[in-house]
Structure 1
Amino acid sequence: MSDGRAARDDSDGHARVRDFFAARASGWEARFPDDGPAFATAVAELAPPAGGVVLDAGCGTGRALPALRAAVGPTGTVLGADLTPAMLAEAVRAGRHRDGALVLADAGRLPLRDGVLDAVFAAGLISHLAAPEAGLQELARVTRPGGRMALFHPVGRAALAARQGRRLTPDDLRAGPRLRPLLAAAGWRLTSYADEDTRYLALAVRDG
């Protein structure tokens, strides 16, 4: 594929993601009012270091930002990046800009230096990456060796599929046998994997 064609495909994919979430931003919090404890538990398992630098990639309305701020403490740095202005506006409306700096950015092309992050939290992100391996490589680029990443969703794959009226398929990137080699190719090592009705959480370490 030529670079021009790839750029057009990425642009089309980004537009679809923005349109999808922009149409749902104003009611997003009301649709998922009970997810806060699941986000907090996932951040605790990610265990960002006190005083560290952490990114919520595809932060949406910023539901993970309070837990990330609590984890890194007042001397740490919390960033929330999202592609959809309307979702970031909802994050501000919810007051979560007080827990971290909000950045309008594509998770697959981040305005960050190499190796600046200690941890990455990504809720529901992998399903919306136009190029999943390239996106995970970009997250690896901005994370220091030994840094950690959490791929999270507040319900598991089967429960989410049932909620959406669809069937699970073998090509689901979040399935363990698909995810492990995908992460490895992008510079990550999968260290734990949970796919339960009440949550999905894959933890990975940035390889050196």
Structure 2
Amino acid sequence: MKKILLLISLFLGITLISCNNKGANSKNNKSEEELDTIWNDRVQETFFDVTFGDSINDVIAKLEKHGFYYKKSNSTDVLLHFSSKEKRFFSFGNMNWEMLDIFASNGRFDGIRFMNASDDKASALNNYNNIKIAIENKYSLTEVTLNDTTIYASSMVFGKNQTVAEVSCYRYETISGNIKIGTDLTYYSLKNFAGPNDEL
């Protein structure tokens, strides 16, 4: 189900994308046929010694070896929450992060989200720009044209290896009802990782 939602989200994202080419106006509304999505040869798909397609049990074990705590009580089969065991922040890509989420489909690892939260929109947008600059040093980005007022900024990276990454800044409501501004870096695979085979 999550894979279908990701594909729908990707399709909707692609229909709203305009390229970040020099001289291009990112506010132009282009039809799907006119979109100039920027493709990268390969987008990263291994993190903390786990690779898209690995079993969730292996992912949990390896992340725990890297100093993460699995928050089983507020996780589901398709969204697993982790935090650093020893301190509030952990490091990835020479940046500090507060939260780590793992996405799963058919018991297989197919997405990862690094996230920070803020009470202040300006500081969240500054964090977004820092993440975006770091990603631009490695990949060619495609800017997303936004129609949702709760999303302040978003850029995507498309890989020919069926891996997508997205940098986002957005407003959200916490479980306790507080309004926060989130900035995140999410990687996900578009590959279909089959579940256990129960055929004879």
Compute the TM-score of the two structures, normalised by the length of structure 2.
Answer: 0.28
- Select the structure of larger CA radius of gyration: 2
> Could you say which structure has the higher helix fraction?
1
Compute the TM-score of the two structures, normalised by the length of structure 1.
Answer: 0.28
> Could you say which structure has the higher strand fraction?
2
